[in-house]
Amino acid sequence: MNSDKEKIKIKVCGMTSKENIKKVLDIGVDMIGLIFVPTSKRFLKDKKAIIDFVSQIVQVKKVGVFVNPSAALVSKQIDQYKLDYIQLHGQESADFCSLFTNKVKVIKAFGVDEFFDFKILEKYKTSCDYILFDTYSLQQGGSGKLFDWELLDNKNIPLPFILSGGIHADLDQRISQLSLPLLWGIDINSRFETKPGMKNIDKIKSFVHAIHS
């Protein structure tokens, strides 16, 4: 686990329902992810009720997820949802990431497989705060499948990172036993749902307890 003994952060991504978000807030997660990608099944539409509700949340950090967005869209959503972090999940450059470092924490996502070149991460070490490692997929927004975490062993990773991609409840022990010094957080989504955008509260509660115990 991370070497400073801090608890691993848990991010619940793909939240779409006000009532579902309220229940997740009571569990003790650290972050919620809001997806601003129109092609996603978990796309959060800009409705006044949800904007007003989310913008007032302070007990967890709010992460806006984007894929190859315009700078204007990112800035708009940061302001109206009062985002704490943005997660860039496309082919965004380090220069693009740096546009927002004075406003929010920046997470840059990368799809990992056996061909991934970890040297590319060096380009982002001054423009981002965190890396997110997801399973490599041609489709945007994640595949819901695990990648081989051993690919991260003995790699030069310049920033604290978040594990993502098909993480499910039965992986709690394996996650707790990981020896990855810069592991900072776990991103959960589709494997903790009753349907796209609606989270299984009991399953998340059990997972959070197992990871944080």
Taking the alpha carbons at both ends of the chain, their separation in whole angstroms is 13
pLDDT at 89: 95
Instruction: Give domain 9-212's CATH number out of 1.10.300.10, 3.20.20.70, 1.10.150.530, 1.25.40.20.
Output: 3.20.20.70
DSSP string, 21-39: HHHHHTTT-SEEEEE--TT
Q: Render pLDDT for 147-169 as a digit per residue (tens, 0 to 9).
A: 999 999 999 999 999 999 999 99
Q: Render pLDDT for 52-111 as a digit per residue (tens, 0 to 9).
A: 999 999 999 999 999 999 999 999 999 999 999 999 999 999 999 999 999 999 999 999
Q: What is the pTM of this model?
A: 0.94
pLDDT higher than 70, residue 41: yes
- In the three-class reduction of DSSP (H, G, I as helix; E, B as strand; rest coil), residue 117 is classed as coil
